[in-house]
């Protein structure tokens, strides 16, 4: 039996690739993700699964917050 990636795993890889180009506002991540076929729920689940690999640039409630790859 072949292993198939789940949609969540594909979203995690997509999110890491997106953020490799620099920080992005969470709302923009969701909009770009929708164009790629990922729902807001899937994106936020992927963000949660990636844990410490993604960081906030500001407080998560800040209007200036962006997601970035952790250093």
3-class secondary-structure state, position 71: coil
What is the reported pLDDT for 69? 98
Tokens 């490799």 map to which residue? Answer: 20
What is the reported pLDDT for 5? 87
Domain boundaries of the chain, sorted by first residue: 1-53
- Residues in the chain predicted with pLDDT less than 70, given as ranges, are 1-2
**Can you give the pTM of this predicted structure?**
0.91
For 17, 43, 71, the CA distances from 28, given in Å and listed in that order, are: 15, 11, 21
What is the reported pLDDT for 48? 97
Percent of the residues in the chain that have a pLDDT greater than 70, as a whole number: 97
Cβ atoms of residues 67 and 54 within 8 Å: yes
């Amino acid at each position: 039996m072949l292993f198939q990636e789940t949609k969540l795993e594909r979203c995690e890889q997509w999110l890491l690739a997106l953020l490799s180009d620099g920080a992005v506002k969470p709302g923009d991540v969701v909009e770009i993700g929708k164009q790629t076929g990922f729902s807001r729920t899937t994106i936020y689940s992927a963000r949660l699964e990636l844990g410490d690999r993604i960081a906030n640039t500001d407080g998560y409630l800040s209007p200036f917050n962006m997601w970035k790859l952790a250093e």
